[in-house]
Amino acid sequence: MCGIIGIIGAAPACPILVDGLKRLEYRGYDSAGLATLVVGRIERRRAEGKIANLEAVLAENPLSGTTGIGHTRWATHGSPSEANAHPHANAAVAVVHNGIIENFQTLKETLVAEGHVFESATDTEVIVHLVTRYLSQGLAPAEAATRAVGELAGAFALAMIFAGHSDLVIGARRGSPLAIGHGDGAMFLGSDALALAPLTKRICYLDDGDVVELTRDGAIIHDQAGALVERPIRETAVIGDAIGKGNFSHYMLKEIYEQPTVIGDTLASFINPASLEVSLPDLPVDFAALPHLQLLACGSSWHAALIARYWFESIARVPVEVDIASEFRYRAPVLAEGGAALAISQSGETADTLAALRLARQLGQTALAIVNVAESTLAREADGTLLTHAGPEVGVASTKAFTTQMTVLACLAIAAARARGVIDHQREAALSAAITEVPARVAEVLRHDAKLKELAEEIAAARHVLFLGRGTGYAVALEGALKLKEITYIPAEGFAAGEMKHGPIALIDNDIPIIVVAPSDQLFEKTASNMQEVIARGGRVIFLSDAEGIERLGDLAAASVEIPAVDAFVAPILYTIPVQLLAYHAAVIRGTDVDQPRNLAKSVTVE
Ligand code: G6P
């Protein structure tokens, strides 16, 4: 239930809504739908699947009207069918929703007992019936919406239109974000500024509990207590231009190839190339005295956090804990007084990561964020933010955002080490030099693309794939397995190489490719032993190592890919590239939807 948009203006709403939905498709693409007011009547069009399917429906059966709402869905309650697609509507009101109504079952039972008939399996539909209940009691739309919203538990951003009210769109939010766009004789609602970018630069964000009435002339906002309030309007810098694939067949491949450039762009904002000193923007944290750092993230961003833990501990000697955001929230964490929490997120909109950072702040931690989207909710809410300069990432499977997150985290670890006095200038310069070299070395790794494409044949035919590594290589193994699962749907697992003998080694047979991440660092011998153990049991290993490692063990592996020899500190960034390319090529061979794999969303905005 993911991206929402609303418009009230003079121009036909439908093309504007569709265009906005395309920019929100990163929030889900299970179904899409629109509703407009046509001579005061609610009309809607919906389609299962991507927005392209909705466009086909609209081409057959166009929709007029200048007031309307739209939705692109990531299914939570109810299958991704047309019947469950938003808007949910009856003759009186149409509703689009991002979030989850946690008390929908109780509300639904009451409404059914009152005689309301439900048409979908969604939680959202209760809102339609609640609003209708209050409209039929004679309340005006805004009052009916406010009453209905007051009965909802959970998280939501909503947009509604009302039959017979062509100059009205109502919005409301709690938990999920909602932006208002101010145009000339037109007003807009959207899940983010990006959705509204081509329409207006003048954006304001609703606070939790706000209800807004949009007319063509402006917005009237009431807060949770019912008081009339104003929310500041800012000029957004977000640019909503369509991003092309260039000469690449998929966004994912383009984004993999952009990595030398965007890692370089990210470094340029954190490292002085002349003095090789890390200089970070001011953060409200004194690293010298920091007792504890809590890292919070989901998906690939969590893998970046796992890698960062090794760095913060070994280089900066900062006590670090890493949590999956959705787990952190419910494990009654005990955090050190005066500590900081750092959320890592490409989108800055992931609901679990946002909620985890809010909790950390409630528990007295300074809230920091690393995000790729500068005006995202996370960036706006955090006490201090560092930006990855990956540029827009379109492919659902994260690639360049992940490697730029590692880049920022590496710089932060160096800066923290300096602040704590645990490295001297010489060591700082050596670490900075190592990270500065990364763009060139990543470009070298990309030259193995053709070989990785060949190796992907075996992966694409496998029924199960394992990735092994130690230390930061373990986190790379997890990321490799995640990439492969996400876009090929082949079951894949990443293991700490030393843990194999405690169970997973039972999986080994002649048919399972095993990708071993093994830079020749201090853990090489240990990883090498674990690799011998799987080979002894018939495992076919694809060995990722440097010249020295391949010289020593390459003969044992079914295939080897040589990664440039670099300081162990930056190795995880380099070793990520081959696992991305293996997953990409295996997906192309299997013919899956590489950029928009089934069941996923680029950013998951529900808990
Ligand atoms: C989704 C995406 C993943 C991403 C994760 C976290 O699950 O499919 O690729 O790593 O969300 O997203 P974030 O925007 O918070 O980094």
More confident residue, 242 or 514: 514
If pLDDT is split at 50, 70 and 90, which confidence band does 181 have?
A: very high
* Residue 2 known to be catalytic: yes
State the pLDDT at residue 370: 98
Residue nearest to atom 4 of ligand 1 (CA): 299
Given the residues 2, 14, 298, 411, the one annotated as active site: 2
What three-state secondary structure class fits 208? Answer: coil
Q: Which atom of ligand 1 is nearest to the CA of 482?
A: 9
* Pocket mutation for ligand 1, best pick of 307, 346, 406 (most atoms within 8 Å of C-beta): 346
The average pLDDT across 82-107 equals 97
The average pLDDT across 182-209 equals 94
* Residue 453 known to be catalytic: no
- Judged by average pLDDT, the poorest of 35-49, 149-163, 471-485, 494-508 is 494-508
The Cα–Cα gap between 441 and 153 comes to 51
Residue that the structure tokens 């007992």 belong to: 113
Under DSSP, the state recorded for 85 is P
* Pocket mutation for ligand 1, best pick of 76, 300, 485 (most atoms within 8 Å of C-beta): 300
Domains of the chain: 3-235 (3.60.20.10), 244-436 (3.40.50.10490), 444-594 (3.40.50.10490)
| Edge-to-edge strand list for the sheet holding 154-162 | 88-89, 93-101, 154-162, 169-174, 211-215, 218-222, 228-229
Residue nearest to atom 11 of ligand 1 (CA): 603
More confident residue, 521 or 256: 256
Structure tokens at 275: 């003095």
- Please give the distance, rounded to the nearest whole angstrom, from the Cα atom of residue 354 to the centre of ligand 1: 12
State the pLDDT at residue 480: 98
Residue nearest to atom 8 of ligand 1 (CA): 602
If pLDDT is split at 50, 70 and 90, which confidence band does 245 have?
A: confident
Share above pLDDT 90 across residues of the chain, in percent, rounded to a whole number: 89
CB 84 within 8 A of CB 120: yes
- Please give the distance, rounded to the nearest whole angstrom, from the Cα atom of residue 280 to the centre of ligand 1: 25
Q: Which atom of ligand 1 is nearest to the CA of 297?
A: 15
Q: Which atom of ligand 1 is nearest to the CA of 405?
A: 16
State the pLDDT at residue 241: 73
State the pLDDT at residue 267: 96
| Edge-to-edge strand list for the sheet holding 179-182 | 41-48, 31-38, 67-73, 3-8, 187-190, 179-182, 202-205, 234-235
The Cα–Cα gap between 95 and 161 comes to 7
- Please give the distance, rounded to the nearest whole angstrom, from the Cα atom of residue 348 to the centre of ligand 1: 9
End-to-end CA, the chain: 11
Given the residues 50, 201, 483, 602, the one annotated as active site: 602
State the pLDDT at residue 607: 82
Mean pLDDT of the chain: 95
CB 182 within 8 A of CB 202: yes
Structure tokens at 411: 């710089």
Residue nearest to atom 2 of ligand 1 (CA): 602
Site residues for ligand 1, CB cut-off 6 Å:
298-301, 345-347, 350, 353, 396-398, 600, 602-604
* Pocket mutation for ligand 1, best pick of 489, 603, 607 (most atoms within 8 Å of C-beta): 603
pLDDT at 14 over 90: yes
Positive/negative CA dihedral, 519, 346, 411, 390:
positive
What three-state secondary structure class fits 432? Answer: helix
Query: Residue 157's CB: how many other CB atoms inside 10 A?
Result: 26
- Judged by average pLDDT, the poorest of 302-311, 507-516, 580-589 is 507-516
- Bridge pairing between strands 179-182 and 202-205: antiparallel
State the pLDDT at residue 240: 75
Q: Which atom of ligand 1 is nearest to the CA of 353?
A: 15
State the pLDDT at residue 273: 76
Structure tokens at 448: 């193995």
Positive/negative CA dihedral, 198, 203, 206, 210:
negative
Q: Which atom of ligand 1 is nearest to the CA of 396?
A: 8
| Cα–Cα nearest to 456, from 421, 415, 408, 488 | 488
If pLDDT is split at 50, 70 and 90, which confidence band does 17 have?
A: very high
CB 219 within 8 A of CB 212: yes
- Please give the distance, rounded to the nearest whole angstrom, from the Cα atom of residue 244 to the centre of ligand 1: 21
Q: What is the pLDDT of residues 136-175, one digit of tens each?
A: 999 999 999 999 999 999 999 999 999 999 999 999 999 9
Q: Which atom of ligand 1 is nearest to the CA of 378?
A: 15
The average pLDDT across 42-64 equals 97
The Cα–Cα gap between 2 and 13 comes to 20
Whether omega before 260 lies within 30 degrees of 0, making that bond cis, reads no
- Please give the distance, rounded to the nearest whole angstrom, from the Cα atom of residue 344 to the centre of ligand 1: 10
State the pLDDT at residue 390: 96
- Judged by average pLDDT, the poorest of 275-279, 381-385, 450-454 is 275-279
- Exposure of 518 in the CB half-sphere (CA atoms within 13 A): 31
* Pocket mutation for ligand 1, best pick of 2, 25, 256, 301 (most atoms within 8 Å of C-beta): 301
The average pLDDT across 459-487 equals 97
Residue nearest to atom 5 of ligand 1 (CA): 299
- Judged by average pLDDT, the poorest of 63-77, 252-266, 275-289, 483-497 is 275-289
- Please give the distance, rounded to the nearest whole angstrom, from the Cα atom of residue 412 to the centre of ligand 1: 21
pLDDT at 314 over 80: yes
Give the helix/strand (H/E) hosting 129: helix 125-136
Q: What is the pLDDT of residues 525-545, one digit of tens each?
A: 999 888 999 999 999 999 999
- Judged by average pLDDT, the poorest of 208-217, 409-418, 549-558, 598-607 is 598-607
State the pLDDT at residue 1: 53
- Please give the distance, rounded to the nearest whole angstrom, from the Cα atom of residue 476 to the centre of ligand 1: 16
- Judged by average pLDDT, the poorest of 238-247, 258-267, 426-435 is 238-247
- Please give the distance, rounded to the nearest whole angstrom, from the Cα atom of residue 397 to the centre of ligand 1: 8
- Please give the distance, rounded to the nearest whole angstrom, from the Cα atom of residue 25 to the centre of ligand 1: 14
Q: Which atom of ligand 1 is nearest to the CA of 600?
A: 8
